[in-house]
Structure 1
Amino acid sequence: MTDLPAPLLELIDDFEAVGPKDRLQLLLELSDELPELPDRYADADLEQVHECQSPLFLTVEVGDGPDAPVSLFFKAPREAPTTRGFAGILHAGLDGQSAETVLAVPDDVVFRFGLAEAVSPLRMRGMVAMLARIKRQIRDRVTV
């Protein structure tokens, strides 16, 4: 698991260090910390992640080349704290990492937070789909 980006590893450690109830609290905190969508995306056609139970939209910015940093942007209603929390995990763990690093993150990493014990499988499917969309958008924008 040491091949993961340091911010993502730190989050996994934080979630593993507490029980299921406290994991939900961490998820809510990350929901609150999710940055608002920049104005330049206010009228943009963002990609919707239909697998999420609440409306979630995302887009990725990436510079040229595999070492260019990736910027992640999410739009989710405050009334959907679980969905926002999942986006918050991905944002805190992957934003600013290189395209190559993000693409190398295992697809099953979302299950390493111990959240499957606290939320429904359908909700976990939404987080898996978010990561898949992020990776696809990166692949569409850069050749690694």
Structure 2
Amino acid sequence: MTEQTTGALPPQLAELVDDFASVGPKDRLQLLLELSRELPELPERYADAADTMEQVHECQSPLFLAVEVDPDPERRVHLFFSAPPEAPTTRGFASIMHTGLDGEAAGDVLAVPDDFYTALGLAEAVSPLRLRGMAAMLARIKKQVRAATAA
């Protein structure tokens, strides 16, 4: 990832990218699994994920997400994810998105490069199909942010 691309990442997401870059391939998978345990529980309003959230069909495991954008001038983004405990890779990807993007301004979320996840160095640890799922998560997040900010 170029310096220009890294500069486009919100601070928390850039920190995660650095964390992954600082360890070897086997430790990256372990870091992803640790992050999977940090994914926050859903608030009550999203208890029925299948009815209240958008499914990311590209993910190998059932993953649902919802995006809320504050009406304030900063247009802060809030992310909510539902993924089963038996899907640690998917939960890990969702946790990266949550940790790196939740609470950021809408413009900063939209500025994240679509391929930022390549800098995590997970290509050696997980299948290309799983990486496409992560790309799809970011695409859905951006789509929902655009819809919310256009209204």
Question: TM-score, normalising length from structure 2?
Answer: 0.92
- Structure 2 counterpart of 1:76, from 68, 80, 83: 83
Please name the residue that 1:117 is paired with: 124
| Cα 1:102–1:66 shift into 2, 3 Å | farther
User: Amino acid of the residue matched to residue 141 of structure 1?
Assistant: A
The alpha-carbon deviation at position 65 of structure 1 amounts to: 6.0
Runs of 4 or more, structure 1, over 6 Å off, are: none
- Name whichever of 109-118 and 63-72 sits farther off: 63-72
- Structure 2 counterpart of 1:42, from 39, 47, 54: 47
The question of 1:52 aligning with 2:50 is answered no
Task: Give the SS at the match of 1:77.
Answer: coil
Task: Give the SS at the match of 1:96.
Answer: coil
Please name the residue that 2:14 is paired with: 9
Task: Give the unaligned 5+ runs of structure 2.
Answer: 1-5
The question of 1:27 aligning with 2:63 is answered no
Decide whether the 8 Å contact of 1:66 with 1:143 is kept in 2.
no
The alpha-carbon deviation at position 113 of structure 1 amounts to: 0.3
Task: Give the SS at the match of 1:71.
Answer: strand
Task: Give the unaligned 5+ runs of structure 1.
Answer: none
Q: Name the count of aligned residue pairs.
A: 144
Task: Give the SS at the match of 1:33.
Answer: coil
Alpha-carbon separation, structure 1, partners of 2:110 and 2:89: 24
Decide whether the 8 Å contact of 2:8 with 2:113 is kept in 1.
no
